[in-house]
Amino acid sequence: MILDTRTLVIVLVGIGVLLSIAAFLAWKAHRHITALAYWAGGALAGAAGMALVMLYGVWPPALVIPLSNALVAATYLLNWFGVRSFAGRPIPWRSGLALLAALTAGNAWFVVMSNDVTARILVGSAGITGLSLLAALELWRMGPADQPRRAQRVTALVFLIHALFVAGRAVLTAWGGPVDSVLMPNLVQSAGFLEAILAVTGWGFGFLAMTSERLQADLDRIGTIDPLTGAYNRRAFMKHAERELARSQRSGAPLTLLLLDLDRFKRVNDTFGHLAGDALLRLFSETVTARLRRTDLFGRYGGEEFCVLLPDTDRTGAAALAEALRRDVSARPLAFQGQEIAASVSIGIAACRSGEDLDTALAAADLALYRAKRNGRNQVVIAEAAG
């Protein structure tokens, strides 16, 4: 069945306007996600470009055809720019605008120098295919594996399928002979506009879903990460530690807990101020995490007290790590306002034994930490094994 192309264009314009409004409102609410502004602008440009298609034969061809094609091409360019912005990558303004100018010049050539609709379709299809593939590639490889990427992958597939469809449509158009107008009611043109409606809707919802995933990930991070040090907060550490303890007790693998406390931290705050104390906590966190494996858990237990949980590590291995951490902290004084603030850490170590809960290990590590403090600080003490 051949659908009316003008009706499909009107539907496409309406969807573009609605998606532009949705992206703009989302951007107004979350100004830090600049990609939404690019995507809102892209949807609006596409809607304007398709609206001008309805004026073919009404306005002068040398004006309306290059302008409408430039606006449609700008949609894909802004989509790509938005994807790069979402990924935190620089925007290639010069190369992007140069490509847009080249596509517009090509369309203008085949209006002014020769009225060749097929050639214009091929020029436009080449630009759309290339920019869609760039967006698909950027989306597919964006972000580390531990971040949510489901919406990104689905949106990448939308762009890939769209690129393949547009390329196939261009081949069929060239093979089918001269075309009188893009609005000519035939199967290829009708299918092209129908697929465009589906693609625009698909990537529009995809962009909004990507934004939702990122905002949810940010909320999860706020709820689990200590904003000053980047370590897990106490609640999140305990949650992950309980899970790791259950795994250790099922498998029989060793699990060891470190309790770390910065020595004389209150004196730093009282002498140099809380800004110095905050800077020292950040430096301490960086020093500790530099030594840890990806599987280790690091959390801020409270104030200047921190926990480290070491899976598949016995007390001997934990003691070796603790000594290395103690030396590292002593060797990295904080440079603050032209002064060097020395730091040291006391560490208590306790094994998480089979049949015991996490509170038992914490109590044992805390007792070992108390002994380290009582014996002069800047020490590592291992909790005594149960008799």
Instruction: List the beta strands (DSSP E) in the chain.
Output: 255-262, 297-302, 305-311, 334-336, 339-341, 345-351, 380-382
Closest to 255 in 3D by CA, of 314, 297, 296 = 314
User: Strand pairing of 297-302 and 305-311?
Assistant: antiparallel
Kindly state the average pLDDT of the residues 150-172: 95
- Sequence-distant (6+) residues with CB within 8 A of 159 are 79, 132, 133, 135, 136, 139, 199, 203
Which class for 175: exposed (0-12), middle (13-18), buried (19 or more C-beta within 10 A)? exposed
Average pLDDT over residues 68-82: 97
What one-character DSSP code corresponds to residue 217? H
Contacts of 227 (CB under 8 A, 6+ apart): none
CA–CA distance from 125 to each of 50, 166, 377 (Å)?
Answer: 15, 6, 71
Domains, the chain, ordered by start = 5-224 (1.20.1070), 234-382 (3.30.70.270)
The least confident of 72-81, 166-175, 313-322, 340-349 is 166-175
Confidence of residue 273 (pLDDT cuts 50, 70, 90): very high
Question: Which of helix, strand or coil describes residue 302?
Answer: strand
pLDDT for 89 beyond 50: yes
CA angle 385, 290, 240 (to 5 degrees): 55
pLDDT at 267: 94
Distance of alpha carbon 329 from alpha carbon 73, whole angstroms: 56
Mean pLDDT of the region 96-106: 96
Q: Is 159 exposed, middle or buried (0-12, 13-18, 19+ CB in 10 A)?
A: buried
Distance CA 29, CA 65 (A): 36
Q: For residue 175, is pLDDT > 90?
A: no
Residue 130, CA atoms < 13 Å, CB-side half-sphere: 13
